[in-house]
Amino acid sequence: MKISVISLFLATSAVVAQGSNLFTGPDESTTLDPRTGATCGDVSDLAPFAELYIPSETAHIYTIYNNNVTSVFTNPGTQYLGIVALIFSIQDPSTVPFYCLRNNAATAWLYTANETERSTALASGYMELFTAGYIYPSQICGSVPLYRLHLLGANSDYIYTTSVTDRENAITSGFTYEGIAGYVYDLLSCEVFHARTEFLI
């Protein structure tokens, strides 16, 4: 499910209203309590991970940075698709960098937290653009999987989503499911009322 900035704001307001009713589900674990701060990131460092699509490049692009949105929109036909997740804007406890690499030949934007894959990609034609943010390498602190899908072919493309429905729809439309890129928050998985609702500079 993709969520616009406006509905993000509305949803975060709803979370505030729910208050302490969060985290009362069966998955709650005292060792993974998101409020301890010992092993979890600070939710106030989360930022919306926005998804854009450049049809001429068949490329999905994800960013927490407003300047990326501005520069991507210089490509004619660029579509803003919404917020796919909340990720850390700085390297909080237990998080790892989520690198953004680009292959100019294939016009693919690859996001990975896997250092081995990053090295392999850099050695095979990708260049590193920036660190997209920081994510958990394992499912802790109430985080949810960020699924990765890959459109194989000359005009390669990667999709990242927390939505099982979106994942299955992408598979139906020809993408290959490649696994979990890391663990992030979505609006239902996190006590997000301190999260930023605007882009970073």
x/- track of binding to ligand NAG for residues 122-141 (CB under 6 A): -------xx-----------
φ, ψ at 114 (rounded to 5°): -95, 110
Tell how many helices (H) and how many strands (E) occur in the chain.
4, 9
| Spatial CA neighbour of 40 closest among 162, 143, 192 | 143
In the complex, least distance from residue 196 CB atom to ligand NAG, rounded to whole angstroms? 15
| Interaction of residue 68 with ligand NAG, rule CB under 6 A | yes
Instruction: Output the smallest distance, CB 101 to ligand NAG, in A.
Output: 12
- Is residue 66 a contact point for ligand NAG (CB under 6 A)? no
In the complex with ligand NAG, the residue whose CB is nearer, 12 or 161, is 161
12-20, 35-43, 67-75, 166-174 -> range binding ligand NAG (CB under 6 A): 67-75
The Cα angle at residue 7 between residues 2 and 13, in degrees rounded to 5? 130
67 binds ligand NAG (CB under 6 A): yes
- Using the rule CB under 6 A, give the single segment among 24-32, 44-52, 61-69, 142-150 that binds ligand NAG: 61-69
Alpha helices in the chain (DSSP H): 5-18, 66-72, 115-123, 164-172
User: How far apart are alpha carbons 98 and 175 in whole angstroms?
Assistant: 21
3 is a site residue for ligand NAG (CB under 6 A)? no
Q: Is residue 70 within 8 Å of 179, Cβ to Cβ? A: no
State the residues that interact with ligand NAG by CB under 6 A. Answer: 65, 67-68, 71, 114, 116-117, 120, 129-130
